[in-house]
Amino acid sequence: MTSQQIYDQIGKSVPYQVGFNQRISGGREGLLLTTPPPKQVVLNEPPPALETEPTFNDVLTKTSIPIRTGTQPPQLLVTAKEQSVQPAQCPAPIVNCTPGEPKIVEKIVEVDRKVEKVNPKGLSNEDMNRKLFGILNSKPVDISCACEAYDYYSMTNPSQGEFKWNSDIEIVYREQPIIKHDNILEIMNNDNPNPWRKTKELTISYSRWSPNPNGKTPVRLLLIHDFLDSKESWWCTQKLLSPFFDTVSVDLIGTGESIMPRAVTSDEESENVPWSYMFHAQYLSALANTLWPGEQYYIAGIDFGGQIASTIASISKQVDGIIMINPPGFHRNTFPGIQYLDFYEMRKITSDESLNNLPISFTARVRDLLTGALKSSECDGRNNSTLKLILKQYTNLDRKRILIDQVVAFSQLPYQEYPKTDNNQQGLEIENITAATLIVTGQNDTVCSPESRHLYPAIYYNSDVSTINVPHSGHLMHIDNPKIIAEIILSFIREKEGIASLKDAFIGFLGTTKGNEMQIISGLRDLYL
């Protein structure tokens, strides 16, 4: 069957430029959107600034990522420290693998991001053709397509780090007790013995996964999770991206291992400030500038994290591109939705004892929300392992209260993603978003409408915006389909930066039927890298 016949049969519901991987399903479920839609040409526009998944344990014995060093960070930033994750300290394996607000640049600086079409090593077109012909005709070996990503690409050991940032506002928090066992019932029945404290210093936890150094600076990528989950939700996708980019996934404040603030003590702002998109954008841009001082980077975020990504792009010219996966959109009635009504009722609960003795477990409610955001047919052992890691944080009473605080806060700040005007001071300065933007939506998303993706090319009017809708995918696509999301991110950045910017030559995660994938990748490495 030709690609045109496939295109006609599925009702022209996906772009014509698709890759067909028959190994996945033997039918239409094998369609992978590997080519983003063509760019829209806008006059006077400023240039834009599988089968078995790899296991987390596969990389734990490899060499740790060296701590990245750079120039002295700005006054706003406090240095971040990293240390290698030791196997004994690592979470359970995933079987899928000058303080103040950053100044906003009023004048948009035009940066030429066009990729120059120059052949590697100064080769002529004729020499390139000869070399490519030889690579593509490498002698086949007896591996068929039984290889996984880690057979093609070198996997590294992730590192854990902490970043400290001084805020303008003061928060109330408690030091989290150290949990050395998994007796969840015992943990829930013990109150946090530490007293409440006031601080302006926020501690942010992150995981860094990067290629082995080979004298070449990799493209940098920041990964931001949704407000229900934590950085662990990105690990399967992050591992697949780590051979190509320097990747950092972050625990937002109030989640995972980052600081758990309960309230603001400043009289200048309302108590909603710590949960606004702008507040998250400030400390995340400071984190990025500390890890990658003065360097450009990309951001990928899911839902809530996607909107934070666009907010960072509005205050920082170091952002080259953003990938917004199932963003909340511009329809006010899509958030918080009927599924969050239970949280609204629980905000009235003030005692820890009442919160721990709900008719239905709080953690079970959160799990229901997370599983409801997945495509039901994909809720396998891999997803259960990832969800188990995410749900560990909800044994903490402060984390439960923070989630309720966040839901209430966002109901009171409904127009943060809208343009900033005199009547909407909490809005987004959309005119400052000049970074290339990719909107990725899941066809089966029941949380945010996939159709909202069509609004972004018109609303982000100073950005080069492209959209893509992924068939058979739910809301939390980075958990459901890590290989597809990793491939979409790779394709987007490769289009903007050029293939020679990758730390490795990428030809897919699942192999081909020819059997000489390793030879092809080896040849492309020698040619391009």
Using the predicted structure, report yes or no on whether residue 262 has a pLDDT greater than 70. Answer: yes
- Tokens matching residue 354: 């009442």
Using the predicted structure, report yes or no on whether residue 524 has a pLDDT greater than 60. Answer: yes
The answer to whether 155 touches 242, Cβ cutoff 8 Å, is: yes
pLDDT band of 292, cuts 50, 70, 90: very high
Class assignment of domain 33-108+146-528? alpha beta
- Residues 219-233: pLDDT tens digits? 999 999 998 999 999
pLDDT of residue 433: 96
Alpha-carbon separation of residue 493 from 36, 151, 264, 464, 497 (angstroms): 11, 23, 38, 13, 6
The answer to whether 373 touches 444, Cβ cutoff 8 Å, is: no
The answer to whether 104 touches 433, Cβ cutoff 8 Å, is: no
pLDDT band of 178, cuts 50, 70, 90: low
Q: Residues near 500 by Cβ (< 8 Å), separated by ≥ 6? A: 120, 528, 529
pLDDT of residue 47: 52
pTM across the whole model = 0.76
* Percent of the chain with pLDDT strictly greater than 90: 35
- Residues 87-129: pLDDT tens digits? 333 344 344 443 344 443 444 444 555 556 788 888 999 999 9
Cα–Cα dist 153/244, whole Å:
9
Q: Residues near 94 by Cβ (< 8 Å), separated by ≥ 6? A: 53, 55, 56, 232, 235, 236, 382, 385, 386, 389
Q: Residues near 168 by Cβ (< 8 Å), separated by ≥ 6? A: 99, 100, 101, 200, 266
Cα–Cα dist 362/45, whole Å:
49
pLDDT band of 380, cuts 50, 70, 90: low
- Most confident region among 31-45, 180-194, 272-286, 399-413 by mean pLDDT: 272-286
End-to-end CA distance of the chain: 36
> How many CA atoms, within 13 angstroms, populate the side-chain half-sphere of residue 243?
19
The answer to whether 19 touches 34, Cβ cutoff 8 Å, is: yes
pLDDT of residue 43: 52
Looking at per-residue pLDDT, the higher value among 408 and 489 belongs to: 489
- Most confident region among 112-126, 250-264, 307-321 by mean pLDDT: 307-321
The answer to whether 362 touches 355, Cβ cutoff 8 Å, is: yes
pLDDT of residue 331: 63
pLDDT of residue 14: 42
Looking at per-residue pLDDT, the higher value among 348 and 128 belongs to: 128
How big is the chain, counted in residues? 529
Radius of gyration from C-alpha coordinates of the chain: 23
DSSP 114: P
Using the predicted structure, report yes or no on whether residue 167 has a pLDDT greater than 60. Answer: yes
Alpha-carbon separation of residue 245 from 67, 241, 288, 299 (angstroms): 15, 6, 14, 12
Using the predicted structure, report yes or no on whether residue 75 has a pLDDT greater than 80. Answer: no
Using the predicted structure, report yes or no on whether residue 190 has a pLDDT greater than 70. Answer: no
Q: Residues near 380 by Cβ (< 8 Å), separated by ≥ 6? A: none
pLDDT of residue 9: 56
pLDDT band of 66, cuts 50, 70, 90: very low
Cα–Cα dist 344/346, whole Å:
5
pLDDT of residue 131: 93
The H or E element that residue 66 is part of is none
pLDDT band of 145, cuts 50, 70, 90: low
